[in-house]
Amino acid sequence: MKTIDIIERIKTLKTGLYGKDFLLTWEKSEDDLKMILDVAQTLKQLRESGISPKLFDSGLAISNFRDKSTRTRFSFASAANLLGLEVADLDEEKSQIAHGETVRETANMISFLTDFIGIRDDIFLGEGNKYMREVGEALDEGHAKGVLPHRPGIVNLQCDKDHPTQSLADLLHLRNTYGSVEALQGKKIVMSWAYSPSYGKPLSVPQGIIALMTRFGMDVTLAYPEGYDLIPEITDIADRNAKKSGGNFTITNDMKEAFVDADIVYPKSWAPFHIMEQRTQLLKAGDKAGLQELENKALAENAKHKDWECDVEKMKLTKEGDALYMHCLPADISGVSCKEGEVEAAVFEKYRIRTYLEAGYKPYVIAAMMLTNRFEKPDRILAELFTKGKKRVG
């Protein structure tokens, strides 16, 4: 679709993104989500056309990663740079946080000339999203009391509940693969647990996928071995979304059954909800012996399900034997990154470049979250960038 046509479509969307943090997809309207997709697509097309989307003359985007990251960390930096912001990393070990500085103090001290704060906090179940909201409340106070000239926007770069930049990048990948959001109606996507030789992978990716894709009338199947449940309130959200959108949401404990006639498969390991609850309590208590015991127990349970691998034979069960394989990366590739893992090497290699393309939407999604937070009329901003056509050097 032409850039100018996407901008015209953006004009028709009624959203509440301006001045609002982006923390959970299910807190946003369908128009909000479509706006993020369209703004992201426009920014991508502008850059690919050699047009600079730089909107900020100066300012900071604070990168606060409380867990490890490659794709999302660099996507956040890329998004900030795309719009003209400098990135500064908040390393908690090198800050006064390590000496007991409070959340409300830290939030204000890093924000004097800051436009956005990106936060990843997915380690503690029940705490990550809560922490982001605590930061937000501190920023509200700082702005209201005149400490901060501008209230920075917060972007959720993955928490215990959701990974909105990932799931929206996935949705944009699907929209561009099938031609439109409307074309996704009735498409079967399987969000499946898959075997991994590690045990502590967050729940937020599968939760984000089932909560988002059910909004758009997709036939969403969640597959996992017995006992590998997600947070119940989020599976309930997915079920309600499916009923409202005319889609379908099904849970099965059979991976092969799930793959039958699937259009898209997303095999990804996660730790069971009850294990993550126990892990959170042990981490808070600093109980290293308890954590080791839990890990041993969880890995032994995982090992019972090594047949939960996305292999060539299971892919033959999908629609015409050629479903789109998706993954948030890095995947546990059998015989490559591990002895036995989530996906057979032959399957991953077939779709490897497409998973890179999938990941490549994330910087634009994050940039779209920033732009719509700061500018009330995104269509005008994008139209101005397009009309001026300022060339990007590089």
pLDDT by residue (tens digit) across 238-285?
Answer: 999 999 999 999 999 999 999 999 999 999 999 999 999 999 999 889
User: Does the pLDDT value for residue 54 go beyond 80?
Assistant: yes
Q: Pick from 367, 356, 362, 302: which is nearest to 329 by CA? A: 356
Q: What is the pLDDT of residue 260?
A: 98
Q: What is the pLDDT of residue 343?
A: 98
- Going by their DSSP bridges, the two strands 343-344 and 333-334 should be labelled as parallel
- Exposed / middle / buried, residue 286 (Cβ in 10 Å: 0-12, 13-18, 19+): exposed
Helix, coil or strand: residue 117: strand
Q: What percent of the chain has pLDDT over 90?
A: 94
For the chain, which residues make up each domain, given as ranges? 3-162+362-388, 166-359
Q: Cα–Cα distance between 383 and 8 in angstroms, integer? A: 9
pLDDT average, residue stretch 65-82: 96
Out of 3.30.70.2190, 3.40.50.1370, 3.90.1170.50, 2.60.120.10, select the CATH number for domain 3-162+362-388: 3.40.50.1370
φ/ψ of residue 268, rounded to 5: -150, 130
Q: Are 118 and 74 in contact (CB under 8 A)?
A: no
Q: Pick from 7, 8, 70: which is nearest to 41 by CA? A: 7
Q: What is the mean pLDDT of the chain?
A: 96
Helix, coil or strand: residue 20: coil
User: Does the pLDDT value for residue 394 go beyond 90?
Assistant: no
Q: Pick from 87, 153, 139: which is nearest to 370 by CA? A: 153
Q: What is the pLDDT of residue 259?
A: 98
Q: Cα–Cα distance between 345 and 171 in angstroms, integer? A: 25
CA angle 107, 111, 115 (to 5 degrees): 120
What length does the chain have? 394
| Structure tokens that stand for 37 in this block | 């997709």
| Structure tokens that stand for 54 in this block | 């730089």
Q: What is the pLDDT of residue 93?
A: 82
Q: Are 219 and 186 in contact (CB under 8 A)?
A: yes
Q: Which of 42-51, 89-98, 101-110 has the lowest mean pLDDT?
A: 89-98
pLDDT tens track for 171-180:
999 999 999 9
Confirm whether 3-162+362-388 and 166-359 share one CATH topology.
Answer: yes
Q: Are 252 and 258 in contact (CB under 8 A)?
A: yes
CATH of domain 166-359: 3.40.50.1370
φ/ψ of residue 286, rounded to 5: 65, 30
Q: Cα–Cα distance between 123 and 107 in angstroms, integer? A: 20
**Amino acid, res. 180:** S
pLDDT tens track for 362-385:
999 999 999 999 999 999 999 999
| Structure tokens that stand for 376 in this block | 């009330």
| Structure tokens that stand for 356 in this block | 């890179």
Helix, coil or strand: residue 97: helix
- Going by their DSSP bridges, the two strands 153-159 and 114-121 should be labelled as parallel
Q: Cα–Cα distance between 346 and 130 in angstroms, integer? A: 41
User: Does the pLDDT value for residue 159 go beyond 80?
Assistant: yes
> Going along the chain, which residue ranges are E strands?
60-65, 86-89, 114-121, 153-159, 188-192, 219-223, 248-252, 264-267, 324-325, 333-334, 343-344
Q: Cα–Cα distance between 171 and 184 in angstroms, integer? A: 10
| Chain center to CA of 92 | 23
User: Does the pLDDT value for residue 96 go beyond 90?
Assistant: no
Q: What is the pLDDT of residue 359?
A: 98
Q: Are 154 and 22 in contact (CB under 8 A)?
A: yes
pTM: 0.97
Q: Are 28 and 162 in contact (CB under 8 A)?
A: no
| Structure tokens that stand for 199 in this block | 């045990």
pLDDT tens track for 289-334:
999 999 999 999 999 999 999 999 999 999 999 999 999 999 999 9
User: Does the pLDDT value for residue 70 go beyond 80?
Assistant: yes
Q: How far, CA to CA in Å, does 189 sit from each of 172, 206, 212, 355?
A: 14, 12, 12, 16
pLDDT tens track for 180-211:
999 999 999 999 999 999 988 999 999 999 99
Helix, coil or strand: residue 390: coil
Q: What is the pLDDT of residue 64?
A: 96
